[in-house]
Amino acid sequence: MSERWTANDVWALAPDVSSRKAATKIAHPDSWPRLGWRPAGPDTDAPGGATAVWGECKGSGAKHYQVAVHLIGPGTPAYRCSCPSRKIPCKHVLALLVLWTEDVAVEDTGPDWLDEWLNQRAARAAAAKPAPQKTTKTSTDPDAVARRARQREQRVADGVVELDTWLIDQVSAGLATNRRDSTQRDGMAARLVDAQAGRLAHQLRSLNHVASEDDWPDRLLTEYALLHLLCVSYQRSDTLPAPLRATVRARIGFPLPEPEETVRDHWDVLGRCDFTADQVRGRRIWLRGQATGRTALLLSFAPKGRALDTPARVGTLLDAELAFYPAENRAVIATRYSEQRADTPRGGSIADALADAARALAADPWRDTWPVVLTDVTCVRGDVFWLTDSSGDALPLLRQDTKFGWQIFSVSGGHPVTVVAEWTPDGLRPLAVWDHRKHPILPA
């Protein structure tokens, strides 16, 4: 990329909070006897930009750690560090990138070890070939494939019927009987895993935290009702419109079909949200097309200790073709043409945001997140932080986002600002706020 990264872009690469804290401690020039960046050549996608950032960081021993980041080319960003850490990227890489964003690094082609590493990467890229396709009978025999598909459909159908019966029994017996005892929910979830309905199992396990909330009866009954609706929808999937049928199957746990539609637009990269899903970490990145008005979700996962993929940076305008899956607004970048800094994204009032969220729920009743862009809203403090607009409408921020609420409060200074947030049934999860310089500020 031809444009300098921001600190937000760097911290998005951190594999965990401890790596970020450790990087902050060494992100100052005194820890780096040598520090520089190598300019990109005229034949690259970003002439005049940096093709690599490098440095040598003081460690506990006499020998300095050799640290480098390759920024332009296939498989970038790529990281190198001679420290023994198994985290990717490690604290030294994060600190190096932070110093680069702060203009501490100077233009310098770098030492011999940087040449050696970049040459090795170039050689591997040139030698890389697509893996040969396996042609075993089990993977290509149409009869075998059809038989396995029928077997899974039957297992899932049996699991859905069992879950629906279980839900009716729970409501009939009274919600208080298993409020704090998760044994029954966990047992039912395990049977759903055996039935190859893994996403249904995850949804059921996620209800264990509801028992500790003040409004647990309403919440638990609502979640049970949504699961019942999903069960009934799957059992009647043949009567549903194709997009809704694809959504139901995805919510059950079937893999998404291949993308069916490609859309080119200039996409505002609105915000990102990191979350935990079972034993892995996930990242949602929301985009919205300026011409089409279409919303897209880029979703990625990574095991703990590994950096999450960041295919688009918040606050940029991405000229690209997105390939859309037939459900859940999921998409992948099919062709990237350019990426540049964007102005403040266009939004609307709170009423506009709620109407947009209502349309998303009509298409997918099980959706619990949707991006909204609120223009000229003021952050006020009450029992929680609230965003209000000139019409007097207001929406609360989630209680767990109090820290970012203070950030919005301080950035705005009581004046209207633009906020990107995820709508949820419990309130707004703020993702970014644009200050007077039209720069996005993300949660610290």
pLDDT of residue 132: 52
The candidate with the shortest Cα–Cα distance to 36, out of 87, 85, 109, is 109
Helices and strands per DSSP (H, E), number in the chain: 12, 16
Answer whether 362's CB lies under 8 Å from 370's CB.
Answer: no
Q: Which helix (H) or strand (E) holds 341?
A: strand 331-341
Rounded to whole angstroms, the Cα distance separating 378 from 366 reads 30
Answer whether 441's CB lies under 8 Å from 435's CB.
Answer: yes
Task: Please report, in tens digits, the pLDDT of each residue of the chain (444 residues total).
Answer: 446 688 888 988 888 889 999 999 999 999 999 999 998 876 555 545 788 999 999 988 889 999 999 988 777 889 999 999 989 899 999 999 999 988 888 899 899 999 999 999 988 877 765 555 544 444 567 888 888 889 999 999 999 999 999 999 988 888 777 666 678 888 999 999 999 998 999 888 888 777 667 778 888 899 999 999 999 999 999 999 988 999 999 999 998 888 889 999 999 999 999 988 767 889 999 999 999 999 999 998 888 777 788 889 898 999 999 999 988 899 999 999 988 888 899 999 999 999 999 999 999 999 999 999 999 999 998 889 999 999 999 999 998 888 888 888 888 888 899 999 999 998 999 999 987 667 788 886
Q: Alpha helix locations (H) across 318-416?
A: 350-363, 402-412
pTM for the whole structure: 0.77
CB neighbours of residue 112 within 10 Å:
7
Q: Alpha helix locations (H) across 312-393?
A: 350-363
Q: Is 323 helix (H, G, I), strand (E, B) or coil?
A: strand
pLDDT of residue 289: 97
Rounded to whole angstroms, the Cα distance separating 238 from 319 reads 38
Largest CA distance in the chain: 73
Q: Is 196 left (phi over 0), alpha (psi -120 to 50) or beta?
A: left
Q: How far is CA 5 from CA 20, 101, 263, in A?
A: 16, 6, 27
Rounded to whole angstroms, the Cα distance separating 26 from 32 reads 9
pLDDT of residue 226: 95
Axis-axis angle for helices 242-252, 350-363 (nearest 10) = 80
> Cis (ω within 30 of 0) for the bond into 365?
no
Rounded to whole angstroms, the Cα distance separating 248 from 253 reads 9
Domain ranges in the chain are 7-127, 147-252, 261-341, 350-441
Q: In what order do the strands lie in the sheet with 295-303?
A: 295-303, 280-289, 261-277, 316-324, 331-341
Measured at the CA of 292, the angle between CA 287 and CA 294, to 5 degrees, comes to 40
User: For the chain, what percentages of helix, strand and coil (3-state, to nearest 5) are there?
Assistant: 40, 30, 35
The candidate with the shortest Cα–Cα distance to 271, out of 331, 316, 240, 226, is 316
Dump strand ranges (E) for 12-153.
34-39, 50-57, 65-70, 78-81, 106-107
Which residue's entry shows tokens 């598909």? Answer: 149
Q: How far is CA 34 from CA 108, 111, 361, in A?
A: 10, 10, 54
- CB contact burial 8-20 (16+ within 10 A = b; e otherwise): bbbbbbbbeeebb
Q: Which helix (H) or strand (E) holds 429?
A: strand 427-434
pLDDT of residue 144: 85
